[in-house]
A = this chain, B = another copy of it.
């Protein structure tokens, strides 16, 4: 009932907000390479910088310039914003936000420390991470763990407004970074392991009033889909397409949470994002395609109405959430320049779509070990076009509950998880931090209790047979769907990448190294061991004429949950603990910013 009311209200609000004029500030600022104005680098999620003071010739001389401890342990995902001489950084729970003065080695201008009920911690599935804050119009937006959305005055850190986006007592939490589009801030929600029904919500940046909310699953009106106009593979999705793909009321606890990244194309006025796994992880408990979990959505930025969508992994059996970022790049596919959307899915396939229409162009494995599907059906005349061609041996549905299915690749945390890739318009390459991990998966029957875990599977993770590298950092050609080069890493590369006009690509490792490699060849040019494992996203900015590289260290996240939460049982941490046990030999918990620069003033 509550959902219905909110859905109706959302409809009303969207009408009111529909005519709002565009806010050109971020469109201008995202082009200023001196700043880093949004977590994703730009609306297209390129995480590319036009700065080239640091380049392939001199990056080997890079050195730590100043550092800052956040005072918080556990996993530090996301990265700093830099806006006109001020850096804004955030922490995992309790989600402290610091404004740091760049002209004084990060002297603290203000700190905002929300008071949150620590009971939110046990309902955060995969560490107490937060992926960053957003900025517009002199306000900083924070999506707290307890789902409180806060607008802070960027000058003072004072609260301008706050809104509750969900209810942690039902397992609703937040980890996703907000994105500001025009006069709205987009907010995602987490908790599919607690049966949370996902949605994306747009709040008006001025006062926090609700603009629209679009659920991932359920009735068409609550999903903001039009049975006739919203398309998948060019065809209208039809009436009640989600409801029909679920048995009974399972959709009400059906997952499809929205804890990943958002993208925005200002020319098309479309926002893009993916939805997470259907609940529970025991696929036998939810017959059907479970629409629209595991789905890429393209929505109108003003109204939230879906223009097109694409469900990558219907009826998921492996927890291959579809939330990874959508990188909007105009690239050549099959000899034709396309307005593309490139997405590296947890399921191990790298997808290239036409972002105007949602047409599927390329879908190839970006790690050869992927074995749960042979390929994505690319035959447009086929009834299964766009669907993965499953390998029965790795189905966790087939044997039903309590059957241990062994050797599935990738593991539940996917060939890539939240760690965002980068796109360089110079090389036309995508630089992708990946996992190289397989799993055994045993589903079990689970019943739903609000606020209690609703996982329904026991997992263990391990490197692919005969391998000891649990990660690779790869360069990907999204036009052809081929790996250009690949750097093996001991552990998953859980950090976000940065590419630059200097021809250098940066990423961090779980052991704690910041690495710089040649964008063309992948040759390692520099590395530095930061205080703790890196799961943050590297960025760059210019201050007083000098280019800096910045990254948050702080081991944790799903891959590092054993260290972060002090878990030792191999199957704990949703299966991640055992596989990553050796991480403990390399690093310990921390939360630090390291800012790098070339020597000299």
- Point out residues on A near B: beta carbons under 8 Å: 61, 63-64, 66-71, 73, 98, 105-108, 111, 512, 528-532, 553, 584-594, 599
Given contacts A66-B529, A68-B587, A73-B73, 9 further A-B contacts (CB under 8 A): A63-B63, A67-B530, A68-B588, A69-B553, A71-B532, A107-B586, A108-B585, A111-B588, A590-B591
CB-based contact A531/B73 at 8 Å: no
**C-alpha spacing A105/B513, complex, angstroms:** 10
Interface centre among A61, A71, A107, A584 (most CB of B within 10 A): A71
Say how far A593's CB is from chain B's closest CB, in angstroms: 8
Contact B587 A66 (CB under 8 A): no
Instruction: Please pick, from B105, B108, B532, B588, the residue contacting A588 in the complex, using a CB distance under 8 A.
Output: B108
Say yes or no: B66 contacts A586, CB within 8 Å: no
Q: How far is the CA of A106 from the CA of B68 in the complex (A)?
A: 20
User: How far, in Å, is A350 (CB) from chain B's closest CB?
Assistant: 33
Q: Is the interface of A mostly helix, strand, loop or mixed?
A: mixed
How many identical subunits does the complex contain?
Answer: 2
The distance in angstroms between the C-alpha atoms of A279 and B137, with both chains bound, is 58
Q: Indicate if the CB atoms of B71 and A588 lie closer than 8 Å.
A: yes
Q: Which residues of B contact A593 (CB under 8 A)?
A: 531
**Distance in angstroms between the alpha carbons of A69 and B590 in the assembled complex:** 6
The smallest C-beta distance from A595 to any residue of chain B, in angstroms, reads 9
A532: chain B residues at CB < 8 Å are: 69, 71
Expressed in whole angstroms, the Cα–Cα distance for A312 and B244 within the complex equals 87
Name the contact of A531 in the complex, choosing from B61, B531, B587 (C-beta under 8 A).
B531
- Is B63 a contact partner of A599 (Cβ separation < 8 A)? yes
Query: With the chains together, A146 CA to B70 CA distance in Å?
Result: 28
Chain B residue contacts of A98, Cβ below 8 A: 588
Q: What residues on B are CB-neighbors of A588 within 8 Å?
A: 68-71, 98, 108, 111
Q: Which residues of B contact A529 (CB under 8 A)?
A: 66-68, 105-106
Q: Name the residue among A68, A69, A108, A584 with the largest chain B CB count within 10 angstroms.
A: A69
* CB <8 Å contact, B69 and A589: yes
The 10 nearest A-B residue pairs measured at CB: A69-B590, A71-B588, A69-B531, A71-B589, A64-B64, A69-B532, A105-B529, A63-B63, A66-B529, A67-B531
Question: How many whole Å from A513's CB to the nearest CB in chain B?
Answer: 8
Report the bound CA distance from A70 to B553 in whole Å. 13
A584's partner among B63, B108, B528, B587 (CB-CB below 8 A) is: B108
How far, in whole Å, are A119 and B568 apart by their CA atoms in the complex? 25
A584: chain B residues within 8 A (beta carbon): 108, 111
Complex: A121 Cα to B4 Cα, angstroms: 50
Could you tell me the distance between the alpha carbons of A577 and B388 in the complex, rounded to whole angstroms?
Answer: 62
Query: With A and B bound together, what is the CA distance between A599 and B592 in angstroms?
Result: 23
12 residue pairs of the A-B complex, CB under 8 angstroms, read A64-B528, A67-B512, A67-B529, A67-B592, A68-B588, A69-B512, A71-B532, A108-B588, A531-B531, A531-B592, A590-B592, A599-B599
Residues of B within 8 A of A586 (CB): 107-108
The interface residues of chain B lying within 8 Å CB-to-CB of A71 are: 73, 532, 588-590
**Complex CA distance for A591 and B261, rounded to whole angstroms:** 31
Tell me the bound Cα distance from A68 to B590 in angstroms.
Answer: 9
Cα A528 to Cα B597 in complex, Å, equals: 13
From residue A99, how far is it (CB to closest CB) to chain B in Å? 11
A430 to B483, CA, bound (A): 61
Q: When chains A and B are docked, how far (Å) is the Cα of A61 from the Cα of B63? A: 10
Q: Shortest beta-carbon distance, A532 to chain B, in Å? A: 4
Chain B residues whose C-beta falls within 8 Å of the C-beta of A108 in the assembled complex: 584-588
For residue A513, which residue of chain B has the nearest CB? B105
Question: Which of A66, A108, A531, A586 is most buried by chain B, counting CB atoms within 10 A of its CB?
Answer: A531
Give complex CA distance A529, B108 in Å: 13
Smallest CB separation, A366 vs chain B (Å): 30
Q: Please indicate the chain B residues that have their CB under 8 angstroms from the CB of A599 in the complex.
A: 61, 63, 599
A106 and B511 CA atoms in complex are apart in Å by 11
Q: Which residue of B lies closest to A555 (CB)?
A: B69
A64 contacts which chain B residues (CB < 8 A)? 63-64, 67, 528
Q: Which residues of B contact A589 (CB under 8 A)?
A: 69, 71
Are the C-beta atoms of A585 and B107 separated by less than 8 Å? yes
- A532 to B532: give the CA distance in the assembly, Å: 14
A215 and B105 CA atoms in complex are apart in Å by 48
**Which chain B residue has the least Cβ–Cβ distance from A105?**
B529
**Closest chain B CB from A292 CB (angstroms):** 41
A69 contacts which of B63, B68, B587 (Cβ < 8 Å)?
Answer: B587
Q: Shortest beta-carbon distance, A63 to chain B, in Å?
A: 4
Contacts of A587 in B (CB 8 A): 68-69, 108
CA distance A98 to B106 in the complex (A): 29
- The residues of B that contact A592 with a CB separation of less than 8 Å are 67, 69, 531, 590, 592
Residue of B nearest to A588 (CB): B71
**Residue among A61, A512, A594 with the highest chain B CB neighbour number at 10 A:** A512
B-chain residues with CB within 8 Å of residue A585 when the two chains form the complex:
107-108
How many angstroms between the C-alpha atoms of A215 and B387 in the bound complex?
Answer: 79
Contact with A590, one of B63, B106, B528, B590 (Cβ below 8 angstroms): B590
**A454 CB → nearest B CB, Å:** 31
Q: How far is the CB of A114 from chain B (nearest CB, A)?
A: 15
